[in-house]
Amino acid sequence: MKKTIFLVSSFVFVMLYNNNTNAQTLKVGVFDLEVMVQAMPAYRVVDSLMAFFDRDTLDALREYNEFEYKRLDSVYRADSAAVANGQKPKAVFDIIVNDRQKAMINILYWQQIAQNKSNEKRAALSQNLFKQVSDAYKKVLARKKYTLILKPNTYEAGFPIDNVFIAVARELKLNELPQELIFLGNDPDPVKPASTQKPPATKPKTN
């Protein structure tokens, strides 16, 4: 999968490079919105809340599904004989059969159901962080005018690339980034060393 993404990204890069009459104007950056959100310090709160959600809400729901299936299965077994003997209407029994089947599905596909509920909860909890990062990212794009933005691990060395994570972090006024995000590319706005900066102009002394 990564090889396919790399080939596609390389193809797009080559096409853009060949079609650009001035190679100096080609600007490539690396960034991933979701990865940047997870690097936000406030995302630790989301992780903590998700741990409570998984333990309390999802575990309680799983236990309820198991209990409900056992209850409905007992009713199903008892009513099967009653329906066969004509002691209970089939319409009522059909409702039990349907409810039992739904409870069984909840147990059989619980991992998928739990994952979907967990994803929905995490998305809701991190919605504000996504907006903050998205707004900062849009400002960087408007200012830097990148030709192409690649995701991490979709390119190899061979052409200069800007680390947009650093620029977005500055826009968000973050003091640090995870080490694995710092060395993905060049700083889009490197700070010039003090020795290379021109001293402020001063007026000549007069006697």
CA angle, 33 then 34 then 39, to 5°: 95
With a CB cutoff of 8 Å and minimum separation 6, the contacts of 69 are 100, 103, 104, 106, 107
Q: Is residue 141 part of a domain?
A: no
Q: pLDDT tens for residues 157-202? A: 667 889 999 999 999 999 888 888 888 888 988 876 555 454 444 4
Q: pLDDT tens for residues 18-35? A: 544 444 578 899 999 999
Q: Is residue 17 part of a domain?
A: no
Domain that holds residue 112: 43-125
Between residues 86 and 186, the one the model is more confident about:
186
Helix (H, G, I), strand (E, B) or coil at 139: helix
Q: Is residue 97 part of a domain?
A: yes
pLDDT at 87: 67
Give the CA radius of gyration of the chain. 29
Whole-number Cα distances in Å, 28 to 18, 23, 109: 14, 11, 43
Cβ atoms within 10 Å of 1's Cβ, excluding its own: 5
Which of 1-5, 6-10, 138-142 is most confident? 138-142
Q: Is residue 116 part of a domain?
A: yes
pLDDT at 157: 62
pTM of the entire structure? 0.67
Q: Is residue 88 part of a domain?
A: yes
Q: Is residue 186 part of a domain?
A: no
Q: Is residue 79 part of a domain?
A: yes
Q: Is residue 10 part of a domain?
A: no
Q: How many domains does the chain have?
A: 1
- Residue 28, judged by CB atoms within 10 A of its CB (0-12, 13-18, 19+), counts as buried
Q: Which residues pair with 28 in a beta bridge?
A: 148
Side-chain-side CA neighbours of 97 within 13 Å: the count stands at 9
Residue 50 has pLDDT above 80, yes or no: yes
* DSSP letters spanning 64-103: HHHHHHHHHHHHHHHHHHHHHTTSS-HHHHHHHHHHHHHH
